[in-house]
Amino acid sequence: MLLFDQNLSDRLVQTVAADFPGSAHVKQLGLAESDDATIWERAARDGFAIVSKDADFHFLSLLRGHPPKLVYLCLGNCPTSTIAALIASHTATIKVFLADPDEALLMF
């Protein structure tokens, strides 16, 4: 399951639903105004992998390890369609990453 950070559109949840059922956006979980540490803890507790463009999550991943896993999108400002296309083109890679118990960080 993927948990999309506030800096990404909540429309991505529907876009990835077929490939990543159970995914959510922080807004759906009442975490839209929460700090990164709170989101990190909730994702770890509920089995989510965080998807974010926020470098703070990258630093948390390096400091704390996993869980949760992090899919870090190294993209500047871009349309949601670009992010959706990136995820769609790497669905198989993301699934392998999520299934690997040793991997903590995936960067695109």
Question: What predicted TM-score, i.e. pTM, was given to this entire model?
Answer: 0.96
Contact indicator for 68, 48 with CB cutoff of 8 Å? yes
pLDDT digits (tens, 9 = 90+) for 36-54: 999 999 999 999 999 999 9
Q: Output the CA–CA distances (angstroms, integers) from residue 31 to 6, 42, 45, 81, 101, in the order listed.
A: 8, 9, 14, 23, 26
pLDDT of residue 70: 98
Residues in the chain predicted with pLDDT less than 50, given as ranges, are: none
pLDDT of residue 3: 98
Contact indicator for 99, 71 with CB cutoff of 8 Å? no
